[in-house]
A and B are shown apart, each in its own frame.
Chain A
Amino acid sequence: MPNASIISIASHLPERKLSNEELIEKFPDWDVDKIYKKTGIRERAIVESDQTSLDLAYHSSIKLFQSGVIKPNQIDMILLCTQSPDYFLPSSACILQKRLELPTNCGALDFNLGCSGFIYGLALAKGLIESQQAKNILLITAETYTKYLDPEDRSVRTLFGDGAATTLISSSSTENAIGTPVLGTDGSGAENLIVEGGASRFPDHKPTLKMNGSEILNFTLESIPLCISRLLEQENRTLDSFDYVVFHQANSFILTQLQRKLKIPKNKFCINMQEYGNTVGSTIPMALNRAHLDGEIKSGDEILLCGFGVGYSWGATIIKWP
């Protein structure tokens, strides 16, 4: 049976930046240091009104091809994770197949998940490769949540930024390069992070993101330690046996709570979203790339990944860095 392995990651951010300095002009009772201290974010990348998640996905994928790691005609599957698609239909992945000039024998699908999306994408890619339905998969996470934000809602405007990441996952002889994931769902939390308007239930309402931050924190503190325990039990491992740990980079406040609660050594725990904010499904691949550039991870390292958020939906797995 073939194994699935992450080969390379490329990412793309919009050019326009929203700094903490700009935010305090709008919300003068906050200060720059307070925003940074609580969120770990200095600036976010924001799309212009005529840019979409599909555009970001296109650019991150072109960067991957430009790196020379693979040719477009070798790709046989696109898995595109987004909650801000260009259209209700067709799938963004189908349009992307044409824009990237990928072969027509390439499968393509969108899947609708947020901050757990990268882990679910790894799970799908692993299944498709191990069952020999695909050999070279583009797993793309692309979001423009900022289009959904109420300009007056400072709690979400400080957190979210736009961006996309393209991860190449290929059939490989390396053993267990993507481990068996642990996945979870609790739809009882749906209303705590939601965009209600614009779709079938409330077609006449403006799509606006609503977040209950305290409920999201409760969910995270209760569910993620259990998710990690399940993974460690499944793999018969301990947390200190990993070279590095990358959780969804929601904000530094939540990450610090999880690091403390799970007693993960600080030097092995990634907190890095200061230049782009919470880019939803792309935070994990972006953080992995940054950690590699910064020398925090090297080839062969075993890395524990965990994504969690809107749904509620969560997942964790282990990868071996290429």
Chain B
Amino acid sequence: MNEEFIEEFAEVFDVEPAEMNTSFTFDGPESWDSLAIVSTIALVDQYYDVVLKADDFIHCSNFGELIQLAEGKKGS
């Protein structure tokens, strides 16, 4: 996984990069504020070249699921 992506994604959630691993847990759709949503769309587009819909990823339970979603869409 791209380290810069992890670093920038950690910044979105205001945590240290070391904490942002595949088991980093999201606390449900309500935990995503509008800034986190648009930042995630932009970062996934930048590093995976796919445009995810907010409804697709705000239900991910952890960072690993979000990565799978991005990789799956890229491969489709």
Contact = CB atoms under 8 A, between A and B. Distances in A.
Contacts of A267: none
B43 to A, nearest CB: 10
Contacts of B53: 214, 218
Interface in B21-43: 34-35, 37-38, 41-42
A109 interface: no
Give the 6 A-B residue pairs with the shortest CB-CB distance, closest first: A214-B54, A214-B37, A221-B51, A257-B42, A217-B38, A155-B34
Nearest to B53: A218
Interface of A: 38, 155, 213-215, 217-218, 221-222, 253, 257, 260-261
Contact of B42 (A155, A215, A217, A222): A217
Most buried by A among B38, B45, B51: B38
Contacts of A213: 34, 37-38
Given A214-B54, A218-B53, A221-B51, A261 B38 contact: no
B8 to A, nearest CB: 12
Contacts of A257: 42, 45-46
Main secondary structure of the interface of B (DSSP, over half): helix
A222 B42 CA distance: 11
Main secondary structure of the interface of A (DSSP, over half): helix
Interface of B: 34-35, 37-38, 41-42, 45-46, 51, 53-54
A37 B20 CA distance: 23
A218 B34 contact: no
Contacts of A218: 41, 51, 53-54
A167 to B, nearest CB: 31
A261 B50 CA distance: 11
Contacts of B51: 218, 221-222
Nearest to A211: B34
Most buried by B among A38, A218, A260: A218
A155 B35 CA distance: 9
A43 to B, nearest CB: 20
Contacts of A217: 38, 41-42
Contacts of B34: 155, 213-214
A257 B38 CA distance: 11
Contact of B41 (A38, A155, A214, A260): A214
7 contacts: A155-B34, A213-B38, A217-B38, A218-B54, A221-B42, A257-B42, A257-B46
Nearest to B49: A261
A257 B47 CA distance: 12
Given A214-B38, A217-B41, A221-B51, 19 more contacts: A38-B35, A155-B34, A213-B34, A213-B37, A214-B34, A214-B54, A215-B54, A217-B42, A218-B51, A218-B53, A218-B54, A221-B41, A221-B42, A253-B38, A253-B42, A257-B42, A257-B46, A260-B46, A261-B46
